[in-house]
Amino acid sequence: MNKVSRIKLKNGLRLLVVPNPESLATTIYVFVATGSKYEDKKTNGLSHFLEHMCFKSTRKRPRPIDIASDLDGIGAQYNALTTHEYTGYYAKVQNSSFQKAFDVISDLYLHPVFRDDDVNTERGVITEEINMYEDSPKSKVGEIFMELLYGNQPAGRSVLGTKENIAKFSKNDLISYRKNNYLPCSTVVVISGKISASEAASLVKKEFSLLARGEKMSKLKVVERQNSPAEKLFYKKSEQSHLMLGLRTFPAADERRYSLSVLAEVLGGGMSSRLFKKVRDELGAAYYVRAETDFFSDHGFLSVDAGVDHRKLEAVIAAIVSELKRLKKEKVGDIELIKAKEHLIGDLFLSIETSDALGYFYGTQEIMDMKPSSPFEIARKIRQVTSEDILKTAGGIVKNNRLNMALVGPFKNRSFADILKV
Q: How far apart are CA 28 and CA 196, in angstroms?
A: 13
Q: Are residues 389 and 333 in the same domain?
A: yes
- Specify the pLDDT at position 1: 59
Identify residue 354 by its one-letter amino acid code: T
Residues 6 or more apart whose CB falls under 8 angstroms from that of 302 comprise 246, 247, 249, 260, 263, 264, 291, 292, 293, 397
Q: Does residue 223 lie within any of the structural domains?
A: no
Structural domain harbouring 272: 230-409
Residues 6 or more apart whose CB falls under 8 angstroms from that of 103 comprise none
Q: pTM of the full predicted structure? A: 0.95
Asked which of 208, 238, 262 is the last residue of a domain, the reply is 208
The model's pLDDT over 122-136, given as tens digits with 9 standing for 90+, comes to 999 999 999 999 999
**Average confidence (pLDDT) over 220-240:** 95
The model's pLDDT over 371-403, given as tens digits with 9 standing for 90+, comes to 999 999 999 999 999 999 999 999 999 999 999
Q: Are residues 181 and 301 in the same domain?
A: no
Question: The domain that contains 204 carries what CATH number?
Answer: 3.30.830.10
The CA distances from residue 261 to 16, 255, 266, 294, 345, in Å, are 26, 11, 9, 9, 10
Radius of gyration (C-alpha) of the chain in whole angstroms: 23
Q: Does residue 397 lie within any of the structural domains?
A: yes
The model's pLDDT over 61-118, given as tens digits with 9 standing for 90+, comes to 999 999 999 999 999 999 999 999 999 999 999 999 999 999 999 999 999 999 999 9
Q: Are residues 103 and 168 in the same domain?
A: yes
Residue 2 has pLDDT above 80, yes or no: no
Q: How far apart are CA 208 and CA 31, in angstroms?
A: 13
Q: Are residues 77 and 174 in the same domain?
A: yes
Q: Does residue 144 lie within any of the structural domains?
A: yes
Q: Average pLDDT over the chain, rounded to whole?
A: 96
Asked which of 157, 175, 208 is the last residue of a domain, the reply is 208
- Specify the pLDDT at position 214: 87
Q: Does residue 419 lie within any of the structural domains?
A: no
The model's pLDDT over 315-355, given as tens digits with 9 standing for 90+, comes to 999 999 999 999 999 999 999 999 999 999 999 999 999 99
* Domain count across the chain: 2
- Specify the pLDDT at position 216: 83
Residues with a catalytic annotation lie at: 51
Q: Does residue 225 lie within any of the structural domains?
A: no
Q: Does residue 66 lie within any of the structural domains?
A: yes
Neighbours of 371 (CB within 10 A): 8
Q: Are residues 123 and 246 in the same domain?
A: no
Q: Does residue 214 lie within any of the structural domains?
A: no
Residue 159 has pLDDT above 90, yes or no: yes
- Specify the pLDDT at position 267: 98
Q: Are residues 374 and 244 in the same domain?
A: yes
